[in-house]
Structure 1
Amino acid sequence: MFINKDLNDKFNPVTSHVHNTYSKVDGSGAAIVIIENDRVVTENYWGSHSKSLNARTTQEDTQFHVASVRKSYIGFAVAYAVHHGYIASIDDLVTKYLPELDTSLLNGTTLRNLLTHTHGLMEIDGEISREFALGQSWAYRGINIHLLTKIVKKTTGKTVSQILSEQVFQPLSFTESGWYAESNDKLAEVIREPGEPNWHPYKSTDGDQMNMYVSARELAYWGYIHLKEGFINEKQIVDKEVLKLATTLQSPKLIDVDLPQNGFLWFVKDLPAQKSEIGELVPKGSYQILGYTGVAVLVIPKHHVVAVRMFNSFGSPAGFDYLPDIRSFGDTVMRCL
């Protein structure tokens, strides 16, 4: 896949915003790519793959660890399973597909709850417990991702990575997006804060672990595929309905209306919500996903814009609050329009 470039200074304030964030987090490399009206209008790279002497310079084919941004790819796989009938409905009980789980503990938990972080479950040392009553609140935990990837494999007979490869990566010639068991010279190192545990070297490449790396340009293309509803180069290459499912509001009605809102794991902008990670100025119908390494992709259909930022930092250093920063990122994009 290739998108023509028409680089200009329209989004210079966003470039400055990303560079400013880069100076605050503990990373060695960063990037920004913005697509507007079917053209790459901003593209910049800074730093290197690590803090080592003679480390590879950050460039177009540099692949960053995307952390929780991988959930948008998992959301696609679930939407694929729903659209093709492998999963009858996201309002089905989780235990319909995973009957070995404790029915009393899950207590009516549905796939919708897993997809929108309203399940109330948590897992510590392999033991599942309930954090809050089903559908009564919102919490960002890992157990829902573990369960969703199991359901995808059980119902479709394919792994998340196989579905993405067949449905997206191969048809669009993506070569800089995937799950890796071993390092290579195109993968930027994850820079960790002192005292943070080392990043786990996961061996599975099924798409069920946190070892996904993507280049800035292919993450922007990923957002662009959703923006265009799979209609690329005058052809319907990716199924429109799968993409629409993934980015449409799916959250159940919650007691606290200020909690974040989700599609198939994407954060979506619908009604005003004080705890949303999407900027106040970003219009309704937009969607975004963010990773713990600071990586983010924001899609604004109303203005035909995709904005991607990439860092290779891990977590938030002292004094840095990611939530105001990512909201400000989106609001800065909007001020440029």
Structure 2
Amino acid sequence: MRKRSLIVAVSAALLSGLAAVPAHAEDRALPLPLLPHVPFYRTDTLAAAHRPEPLRTDGLREIDAEYVYDGRVRTVRDFLRRTSTRGYLVLRGEQILDERYFGGYAASSRFNSWSVGKSITSAAVGAALAEGRITSLDDPVTKYLPELAHSGYAGVALRDVLRMASGTSYDETDYADPTKGSTATTIRMVAGTALTDQAREIRRERPAGTRWNYDSMDTFVLGWVVARATGRTLPDYVRERIWQPAGMETPALAGSDYAGNAIAYCCYHATVRDFARFGLLYLREGRAGDRQVLPAQWIRDSTRATEPYLRPGHLRPDKPAAVENTYGYGYQWWLGDGDRGDYAAVGILGQFVYVSPRDGLVIVKASEDLNSEATMGEAIHAFRAVADALRG
């Protein structure tokens, strides 16, 4: 119990430590105990592939580019510095063009996905759907999880949960508030309240499928559905159907609560190169080597806005200046505006897996950015500047 109490105290300090972050924090050493890439929960190991997807590292160079954001000319080099980047990689095809590490990290370091993990869990849903373990995205959550029959998820279609449009009451607008959203959920999890029990407590706020609301509990429920539908734990299923078939080079870790429920909404710990391989899987429309790991149609469906309220500029109609409106939303992926067709997996503290099919490009950024909620909108401009410079 003493060990559990210590973990609870450290974890609560880690999560609530965001409350002390200045509104415009610049690149600086992180104040302990904010250790964003260190697991503070149970983990399962995702074994690497026997034959990793090869990535070439000849011809590495630093790629800088200028772009205009918020009325100012900026550079990618400065963006990486200001946003406390710790790992950064630019991949075109199998060729790594630029790879850099900062602050003592290296290519062998594992980084916490944070909410980039939502896109990995979404991929697991796609795999289970392709196998027929999930019969339809129009199925209600309770077909697989009757335990939620008296919760806000009763009758809600899996498709709406994927879109963050479950209609449930969950306020994830302030990570500095330890009583709200995923911050509260994670602190309670570490203190011993199972995520399944927390999901049962969720109530409905509006009709499903009518409005986007960022909700980490939605992603936990998706992971729980995958586990129930497949008869496997989510980490085991991700390992068998995604991690190994996609050719990952290094074992990864996946976080769980004390009851063994996969967190699912975050907390996959992997190297920058393997996050890049995950992006490459989507860039190649679900293929890795000569194997179709995920259906191409799943990739296309996941990375487009299927309803008007999911289009770029429409996610937060209540707050037009919100950074979320820089993007649209698919099946747990953030969508770029305009006609580029680019999209990204995004996590708090500045984690990104950016994919640009038009440019054949994947960019990974692992960070310790205390101002990430503000700089999230700038990131896509920096990534597009890199793509333009390479095309140039």
* CA contact 1:74–1:207 (8 Å) conserved in 2: no
Deviation at 1:310, TM superposition (A): 1.1
- Residue 57 of structure 2 aligns with an amino acid whose one-letter code is K
In the other structure, the counterpart of 1:263 is 330
3-state SS of 1:5 partner: coil
Deviation per CA, 1:89-132: give whole Å up to 9, x if none: 11111222222324684464211111011112135673312344
- Residue 314 of structure 2 aligns with an amino acid whose one-letter code is D
Q: What pairs with 1:66-77 in structure 2 (closer than 5 Å)?
A: 66-77=113-124
Aligned CA RMSD, in angstroms, stands at: 3.2
- How far, CA to CA, are the matches of 2:153 and 2:262 in structure 1? 26
- How far, CA to CA, are the matches of 2:234 and 2:298 in structure 1? 15
* CA contact 1:118–1:137 (8 Å) conserved in 2: yes
In the other structure, the counterpart of 2:249 is 174
Give the structure with the higher percent helix.
2
- How far, CA to CA, are the matches of 1:255 and 1:221 in structure 2? 27
- Of 367, 376, 381 in structure 2, the residue corresponding to residue 323 of structure 1 is 376
- Of 152, 158, 163 in structure 2, the residue corresponding to residue 111 of structure 1 is 158
Relative to structure 1, is the Cα distance of residues 207 and 162 closer, same or farther in structure 2, using a 3 angstrom cutoff? farther
Deviation at 1:312, TM superposition (A): 3.1
Relative to structure 1, is the Cα distance of residues 101 and 107 closer, same or farther in structure 2, using a 3 angstrom cutoff? closer
Q: What pairs with 1:30-179 in structure 2 (closer than 5 Å)?
A: 30-48=86-104, 58-102=105-149, 105-106=152-153, 108-123=155-170, 126=198, 127-171=201-245, 172-179=247-254
In the other structure, the counterpart of 1:231 is 287
- How far, CA to CA, are the matches of 2:147 and 2:126 in structure 1? 23
Deviation at 1:281, TM superposition (A): 6.1
- How far, CA to CA, are the matches of 1:107 and 1:241 in structure 2? 30
Deviation per CA, 1:196-232: give whole Å up to 9, x if none: xxxxx97848453643211111111111122123433
Relative to structure 1, is the Cα distance of residues 163 and 245 closer, same or farther in structure 2, using a 3 angstrom cutoff? farther
- How far, CA to CA, are the matches of 1:282 and 1:322 in structure 2? 22
The TM-score with structure 2 as length reference comes to: 0.65
Deviation at 1:45, TM superposition (A): 1.2
Deviation per CA, 1:256-297: give whole Å up to 9, x if none: 8722543331223xxxxxxxxx3x46702x221110020101
* CA contact 2:60–2:96 (8 Å) conserved in 1: no
- How far, CA to CA, are the matches of 1:206 and 1:107 in structure 2? 21
In the other structure, the counterpart of 1:291 is 347
- How far, CA to CA, are the matches of 1:63 and 1:42 in structure 2? 18
- How far, CA to CA, are the matches of 1:65 and 1:17 in structure 2? 26
Deviation per CA, 1:228-250: give whole Å up to 9, x if none: 234334x1162444752663436
- How far, CA to CA, are the matches of 2:260 and 2:154 in structure 1? 31
- How far, CA to CA, are the matches of 2:101 and 2:106 in structure 1? 6
The reply on whether 1:3 has 2:55 as its aligned counterpart is yes
Relative to structure 1, is the Cα distance of residues 255 and 35 closer, same or farther in structure 2, using a 3 angstrom cutoff? closer
3-state SS of 1:321 partner: helix
Relative to structure 1, is the Cα distance of residues 202 and 149 closer, same or farther in structure 2, using a 3 angstrom cutoff? same
3-state SS of 1:43 partner: strand
In the other structure, the counterpart of 1:24 is 82
Deviation at 1:307, TM superposition (A): 0.9
* CA contact 1:250–1:262 (8 Å) conserved in 2: yes
Higher deviation after alignment, 221-230 or 240-249: 240-249
* CA contact 2:87–2:365 (8 Å) conserved in 1: yes
- How far, CA to CA, are the matches of 1:217 and 1:65 in structure 2? 13
- How far, CA to CA, are the matches of 1:131 and 1:39 in structure 2? 47
Deviation at 1:164, TM superposition (A): 1.7
Relative to structure 1, is the Cα distance of residues 254 and 239 closer, same or farther in structure 2, using a 3 angstrom cutoff? closer
Relative to structure 1, is the Cα distance of residues 237 and 85 closer, same or farther in structure 2, using a 3 angstrom cutoff? closer
The reply on whether 1:254 has 2:306 as its aligned counterpart is no
- How far, CA to CA, are the matches of 2:116 and 2:204 in structure 1? 25
Higher deviation after alignment, 95-104 or 108-117: 95-104
- How far, CA to CA, are the matches of 1:240 and 1:108 in structure 2? 27
3-state SS of 1:121 partner: coil
- How far, CA to CA, are the matches of 2:236 and 2:211 in structure 1? 33
Relative to structure 1, is the Cα distance of residues 146 and 217 closer, same or farther in structure 2, using a 3 angstrom cutoff? same
* CA contact 2:117–2:265 (8 Å) conserved in 1: no
* CA contact 1:33–1:309 (8 Å) conserved in 2: yes
The TM-score with structure 1 as length reference comes to: 0.75
- Residue 135 of structure 1 aligns with an amino acid whose one-letter code is G
Higher deviation after alignment, 209-218 or 73-82: 209-218
Runs of 4+ off more than 6 Å: none
- How far, CA to CA, are the matches of 1:17 and 1:65 in structure 2? 26
Relative to structure 1, is the Cα distance of residues 93 and 66 closer, same or farther in structure 2, using a 3 angstrom cutoff? same
- How far, CA to CA, are the matches of 2:261 and 2:110 in structure 1? 16
The reply on whether 1:332 has 2:389 as its aligned counterpart is no
- Residue 147 of structure 2 aligns with an amino acid whose one-letter code is E
